[in-house]
């Protein structure tokens, strides 16, 4: 893309909305229809979806495989459909309005509701940022780099690449990091699973009525449709300058990015299910961390698989460690009506950059603490994300169906059936989980 078109998002957001006839980057590249053109489409959708396959995501998917084998593969099919629906709605809102999700919430919700949703975002994102640096430190430790060295070096590298670059440069770096996810596909094939059983468990649902299964299910939903992904993709679409005129290419980015993300999670479950779960004779083996999953593969697949798995963890954590602080900064500054964006200078958006720097520093410091119960932190954080997700989903549905805001680009009736069905299913699951925990305090168990 030409640089002169890229700089357009430096205008205030309202100015972007007020100039619908202004040329956009995607319109210029739309003249080409070769492989490079379609490759150039990929950006926010691919990044946002794959950021969910972070340290916590890898820990969660590894737990799904090591505890239940292939029994939860069908979950990824259902959740994958949900990812596409939610990501597409947020990307469409960004293209139609030229505004981020938190910005729209601030302008269309009451002060109390805006504050409530903003706090939900902060709670969902805050702890997960720390988990990404824990993942980076754990992966580097497998390669012989101590965490007290790996975490600060990684933190500085991420800060420098984002704070000193343009949005386009940052996006390219994020896209390159997604290549690391192919490591999990390699690991899955090296495990030599029973592909007949894999196919059967993918399309024939099995369910266990016990606390471990429900907790893992909630965590899987929370990490795959994580709230921060919705904020990031909408803000990134706005900063990229996408409009509804060229939105069909952004939709392709969302669908393919989501499919790739789900495929990676799918292969992580296969890799751990075919090795760790199988070795436990069907009992299931809990893991201490995503790094421990890499170590656990060594007896079955050799040191090469361990390093392949660790490489995937490193790339995934780097990607999410860049996306998450940005997402949090977007949500807070948009809600407060402050200037934001990677393309903005420190002078233009001081609050955005100060917050970004502080979040990375906090993540690095906590990741350097030895002896953290890593897997408990990661899985429980995504259980929390799963519990908070209904709040975000219903906020998005209220905005996307606002005709004054979206005009002709509101959801169709069929799309709303799918979207509200997803929100209702997630809400039911969350309520059931919370009820189980509350009753457990009184010695009452709904599940075995």
| CA torsion angle 60 63 65 71 (round to 10) | -80
pLDDT tens, residue by residue, 219-277? 888 778 877 778 778 888 887 888 898 888 888 888 888 888 888 899 989 989 998 89
| pTM (2 d.p.) | 0.75
- Is 20 contained in some domain? no
- Rounded Cα gap, residues 97 and 396, in angstroms: 13
- Is 17 contained in some domain? no
Share above pLDDT 90 across residues of the chain, in percent, rounded to a whole number: 20
- Is 14 contained in some domain? no
> Domain holding 424: CATH number?
1.20.1740.10
- For the chain, the domain total comes to 1
pLDDT at site 21:
35
pLDDT tens, residue by residue, 99-120? 988 889 888 988 888 888 777 7
Contact of 252 with 30, CB cutoff 8 Å: no
- Is 331 contained in some domain? yes
pLDDT tens, residue by residue, 320-332? 787 778 878 887 8
- Is 194 contained in some domain? yes
Share above pLDDT 70 across residues of the chain, in percent, rounded to a whole number: 77
Q: Which one, of 245, 244, 215, 219, lies nearest residue 76 by Cα?
A: 219
Between 167 and 142, name the one with better pLDDT. 142
- Rounded Cα gap, residues 263 and 177, in angstroms: 16
Going by C-beta distance under 8 Å and a sequence separation of 6 or more, which residues neighbour residue 199? none
- Is 448 contained in some domain? no
Contact of 286 with 63, CB cutoff 8 Å: yes
Look at residue 68 and give its three-state secondary structure. Answer: helix
Which one-letter DSSP state was computed for residue 370? T
- Rounded Cα gap, residues 29 and 269, in angstroms: 38
pLDDT at site 180:
67
Q: How many CB atoms lie within 10 A of CB 255?
A: 16
- Is 5 contained in some domain? no
Domain coverage including residue 324: 44-440
Going by C-beta distance under 8 Å and a sequence separation of 6 or more, which residues neighbour residue 2? 25, 28
pLDDT tens, residue by residue, 148-188? 888 899 899 889 888 876 556 666 666 666 666 777 788 88
Highest mean pLDDT among 132-146, 154-168, 345-359: 345-359
Contact of 121 with 228, CB cutoff 8 Å: yes
Q: Which two tokens stand for residue 119?
A: 């706090």
Contact of 297 with 58, CB cutoff 8 Å: no
């Amino acid at each position: 893309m030409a640089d002169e078109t890229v700089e357009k998002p430096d205008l205030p957001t309202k100015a972007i909305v007020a100039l619908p006839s202004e040329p956009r980057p995607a319109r210029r590249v739309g003249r080409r229809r070769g492989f490079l053109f379609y490759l150039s489409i990929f950006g926010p959708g691919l990044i946002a979806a794959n950021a969910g396959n972070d340290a916590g995501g890898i820990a969660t998917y590894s737990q799904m495989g090591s505890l239940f084998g292939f029994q939860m593969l069908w979950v990824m099919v259902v959740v994958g459909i949900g990812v596409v629906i939610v990501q597409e709605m947020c990307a469409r809102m960004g293209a139609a309005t030229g505004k981020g999700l938190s910005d729209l919430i601030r302008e269309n919700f009451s002060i109390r509701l805006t504050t409530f949703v903003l706090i939900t975002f902060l709670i969902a994102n805050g702890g997960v940022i720390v988990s990404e640096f824990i993942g980076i430190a754990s992966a580097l430790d497998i390669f012989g780099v101590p965490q007290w060295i790996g975490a600060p070096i990684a933190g500085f590298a991420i800060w420098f690449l984002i704070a000193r670059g343009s949005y386009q440069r940052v996006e390219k770096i994020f896209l390159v990091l997604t290549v690391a996810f192919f490591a999990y596909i390699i690991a899955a094939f090296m495990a030599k699973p029973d592909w007949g059983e894999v196919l059967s468990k993918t399309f024939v649902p099995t369910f266990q009525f016990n606390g471990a299964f429900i907790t893992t299910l909630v965590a899987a939903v929370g990490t795959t449709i994580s709230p921060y992904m919705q904020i990031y993709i909408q803000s990134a679409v706005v900063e990229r300058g996408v409009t509804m005129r060229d939105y069909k290419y952004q939709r392709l980015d969302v669908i393919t990015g989501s499919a790739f993300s789900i495929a990676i999670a799918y292969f992580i479950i296969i890799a751990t299910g075919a090795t760790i779960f199988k070795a436990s004779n069907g009992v299931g083996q809990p893991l201490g961390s995503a790094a421990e999953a890499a170590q656990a593969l060594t007896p079955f697949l050799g040191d090469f698989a361990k390093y392949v798995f660790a490489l995937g963890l490193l790339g995934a954590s780097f990607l999410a460690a860049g996306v998450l602080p940005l997402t949090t900064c977007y949500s807070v500054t948009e809600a407060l009506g402050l200037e934001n964006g990677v393309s903005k200078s420190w002078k233009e958006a001081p609050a955005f950059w100060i917050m970004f720097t502080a979040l990375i520093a906090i993540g690095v410091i906590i990741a350097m603490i030895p002896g953290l119960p890593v897997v408990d932190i990661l899985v429980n954080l995504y259980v929390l994300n799963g519990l908070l997700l209904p709040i975000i989903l219903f906020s998005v549905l209220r905005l996307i169906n606002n005709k004054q805001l979206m005009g002709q680009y509101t959801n169709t009736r069929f799309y709303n059936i799918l979207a509200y069905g997803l929100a209702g299913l997630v809400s039911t699951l969350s309520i059931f989980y919370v009820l189980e925990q509350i009753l457990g305090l009184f010695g009452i168990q709904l599940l075995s």
